[in-house]
């Protein structure tokens, strides 16, 4: 039997913008250098940052970790949002997040991010290999 784990999160762009502008170090703690570089090159950087933040939260939910499971903000970098050549977003896991993924025998990850009306939403679907979950 294939096991599926899902997470979803929504982020208010204006709220993330306020936090990021007041506390620039927050952005460095939460987003990888590659994520910050990509988003800063966009016309609306905080829209894209909000989408990535939602994706990280959704991934933590799908992994069953929450903020405590990853040790707080310092571990957000263990979940990175990359872009395929097609533009489709994808997850890259490292550290503790990757260890949890291996333990669950994850075979596939799927990420979708959308932006509308001042909000960014992301959904993550993780599929484990049939009958091999640890």
What does each C-alpha distance from 101 to 5, 69, 104, 111 come to in angstroms?
A: 11, 13, 5, 15
Q: What is the DSSP letter of 75?
A: G
Neighbouring CB atoms inside 10 A of 34's CB total 13
Please report the pLDDT score of residue 66 as a whole number: 66
Using one digit for the tens of pLDDT, what is the confidence trace for 71-123?
544 478 899 999 999 999 999 999 888 888 999 899 999 999 999 999 999 99
Please report the pLDDT score of residue 72 as a whole number: 47
All structural domains of the chain, each given as residue ranges with its CATH number in brackets, are 3-128 (3.90.470.20)
The mean pLDDT of the chain is 90
pLDDT band for position 20 (cuts 50, 70, 90): very high
Residues 6+ apart with CB under 8 A from 81: 35, 51, 52, 55, 56, 89, 90, 91, 92, 111, 113
Please list the residues that pair with 83 across neighbouring strands: 89
């Amino acid at each position: 039997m294939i096991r599926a784990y899902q997470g979803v999160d929504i982020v208010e762009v204006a709220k993330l913008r306020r936090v990021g502008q007041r506390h620039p170090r927050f952005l460095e703690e939460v987003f990888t250098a590659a994520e910050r570089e990509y988003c800063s090159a966009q016309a609306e950087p905080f829209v894209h940052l909000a989408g990535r933040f939602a994706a990280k939260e959704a991934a933590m939910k799908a992994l069953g970790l929450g903020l405590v499971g990853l040790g707080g903000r310092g571990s957000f970098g263990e979940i990175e949002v990359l872009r395929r050549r097609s533009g489709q977003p994808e997850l890259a896991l490292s550290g503790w997040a990757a260890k949890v993924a291996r333990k669950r025998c994850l075979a596939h990850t799927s990420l979708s991010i959308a932006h509308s009306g001042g909000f960014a939403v992301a959904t993550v679907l993780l599929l484990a290999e049939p009958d091999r979950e640890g």
